[in-house]
Amino acid sequence: MAPGSQEWYTWRDVLHLVDIICCCAILFPIVWSIRHLRQAAAADGKAAHNIMKLTLFRQFYIMVVTYIYFTRIIVFLLAATMPYDWMWLRFVFTELATLSFYVVTGYKFKPAEDNPYLKVELEDPDELEEFGLDEEGELEMEQVKSRVEV
């Protein structure tokens, strides 16, 4: 099956369609999470927290849809209408869209003190006891004295 043959074009088109179907399948868990968060916001007393999560997931949903449409459909249509000398631009557009998508996603879900998904613990009390430290991070005086006497 050589590039340019009828079979090659058929498989290329079928696999492009499968790619778009798989991209749409990615959207279902996001939509399900948005629906679940909307129901949870109405049901319990943590409405403000759930609304914040809901807003974040809606923004993520819009980003995913935009990324899929741009990289799978718009770039495909641009490549079909571009002259041969400019075909390299389709790869540039795809890579720039991918880089932008990952940077914005990383920024939206970055670890922070108030991030609802990735809580950053500032202090672990078990770790302090393990190393013989008090709350300020200093060694306890009894341990220092016992080490000096030995």
Q: What is the pLDDT of residues 134-150, one digit of tens each?
A: 555 454 555 545 555 55
Backbone angles phi and psi of 122, in degrees to 5: -80, -30
Q: How far apart are CA 108 and CA 59, in angstroms?
A: 9
Predicted confidence band of residue 105 (pLDDT cuts 50, 70, 90) = very high
Lowest pLDDT segment from 9-18, 25-34, 110-119, 123-132:
123-132
Q: Is the pTM of this model over 0.75?
A: no
Is pLDDT larger for residue 112 or for residue 85?
A: 85
Tell me the per-residue pLDDT of 56-68, one tens digit each, with 9 for 90 and over: 888 988 999 899 8
Tell me the per-residue pLDDT of 5-56, one tens digit each, with 9 for 90 and over: 888 889 988 998 898 888 888 888 888 887 887 777 777 666 777 777 788 8
Average pLDDT, the chain: 78
> What does the DSSP assignment read for 59-94?
HHHHHHHHHHIIIIIIHHHHHHHS-GGGTHHHHHHH
Q: What percent of the chain has a predicted confidence (pLDDT) above 90? A: 26
Lowest pLDDT segment from 6-10, 99-103, 106-110, 130-134:
130-134
- Cβ contacts of 129 within 8 Å, gap of 6 or more: none
Q: What percent of the chain has a predicted confidence (pLDDT) above 70? A: 70
* Res 97: pLDDT: 96
